[in-house]
Structure 1
Amino acid sequence: MTDWEKASAARVIPPARPRKLAKVPFVELADGRMQGVVSSGSDIERVYVSSVAAGTYAFACSTNNNRPCGGARGSFCNHINALISEAVLQYGAERVARYLRVEAADEEPSAHSITAGMSAARPLQGETTAAASVFSRFLRHLAYLELAPSTGPLPEMQWFPPTRAVA
């Protein structure tokens, strides 16, 4: 067993390419969706929670106050397009295409070919259940950034209860 396998910390997979966090501060492939938080272009205090379901490509985009995005009417809005682009930077195009189950037209998938592959499948709008949990995870990640650097354990990161010695 290697040292990292004995540690209580998980290995972090480095991003495929460096990305700027100003436009899309949070993107993840989780819960059968590509999902994340995208900054508003017009209001610094507003963010959008966007998601695309793997396989069905059902999508949703709404503000942090659960107001629907005006641009997500029958096709992907700019927030979802930005999320796809940033997911490709973070995870790599092949991994994103595989996770979303998109048949990209190009041999080398790209953000554009992934978007085109999902658009051809006529995405269905209405995937609304993810927004609250995605935004909550994003806020939790922000809270970790405010902590002072430390090698000590974080109680909320202790997933398994301590074992008790049996007498």
Structure 2
Amino acid sequence: MSDWERSSTARVTAPARPRKLAKVPFVELADGRLQGVVSSGSDIGRVYVSSVAAGTYAFACSTNNNRPCGGARGSFCNHIRALINEAVLQYGAGRVSRYLRVETADGEPSAPSITAGMSDTRPPQGDTKAAAPVFSRFLRHLAYLELTPTTSPLPEMQWFPTTRAVA
């Protein structure tokens, strides 16, 4: 067993490039999907929960009140495109491409080639059942931003990974 497997902490992969969180405040590769929360371009009080399934590229996009996105009718909407772009910034194009199992036309994947590779297959409309847990995780992450800064330990945060290198 290696040192990191015996450790109570996990390594955190640094973002591939810095992201601006105003448009896509939450993005994750989890549960067999690229999923996250995308801000509305027209209403500051509205957000969309968007996702794309790995392998099938089934997509879903709905508001935080479970109203379907008007732009996600038969093809990726702008929210899903923004989610893919931010995932590439956060995780790198190679990792996103491998996770979603996208074959890109050119050798080096990029956000546009990943989107095109999935769009070429005519992805099916997915269900929005994943929206509630994704939005709930996003809200839980936001709650930590409201905590008063302190150096004392927070019991609920003890499971968080550390960026400290494990020897």
Unaligned runs of 5+ in 1: 160-167
Q: After superposing the two structures, state which structure 1 stretch, 136-145 or 147-156, moved more.
A: 147-156
In structure 2, do the counterparts of structure 1 residues 3 and 45 end up closer, same or farther at CA, with 3 Å as the change threshold?
same
In structure 2, do the counterparts of structure 1 residues 77 and 3 end up closer, same or farther at CA, with 3 Å as the change threshold?
closer
Q: Which amino acid aligns with 1:109?
A: P
1:131 matched to which residue of 2? 131
Deviations 1:17-46 (A, max 9, x none): 001000000000000000000000000000
In structure 2, do the counterparts of structure 1 residues 13 and 152 end up closer, same or farther at CA, with 3 Å as the change threshold?
farther
2:162 matched to which residue of 1? none
Greater than 2 Å deviation, 4+ residue runs: 1-6, 8-12, 148-159
Q: Which amino acid aligns with 1:107?
A: G
- Supply the distance in 2 between the matched residues of 1:114 and 1:96 (Cα, whole angstroms): 8
- Supply the distance in 2 between the matched residues of 1:90 and 1:127 (Cα, whole angstroms): 25
2:88 matched to which residue of 1? 88
Larger Rg, first or second structure (1 or 2): 1
User: What TM-score, normalized by structure 2, do the two folds share?
Assistant: 0.88
1:23 partnered with 2:23: yes
In structure 2, do the counterparts of structure 1 residues 152 and 106 end up closer, same or farther at CA, with 3 Å as the change threshold?
farther
In the alignment of these two chains, the number of paired residues is: 158
Deviations 1:44-68 (A, max 9, x none): 0000000000000000000000000
Unaligned runs of 5+ in 2: 160-167
State whether residues 27 and 83 of structure 2, in contact with CA within 8 Å, keep that contact through their aligned partners in structure 1: yes
Q: Percent identity?
A: 83
User: What TM-score, normalized by structure 1, do the two folds share?
Assistant: 0.88
Deviations 1:106-165 (A, max 9, x none): 111000000000001110002211100000000001011222334443333456xxxxxx
1:163 matched to which residue of 2? none
Q: Which amino acid aligns with 1:60?
A: A
Root-mean-square deviation (CA, aligned residues, Å) is: 1.9
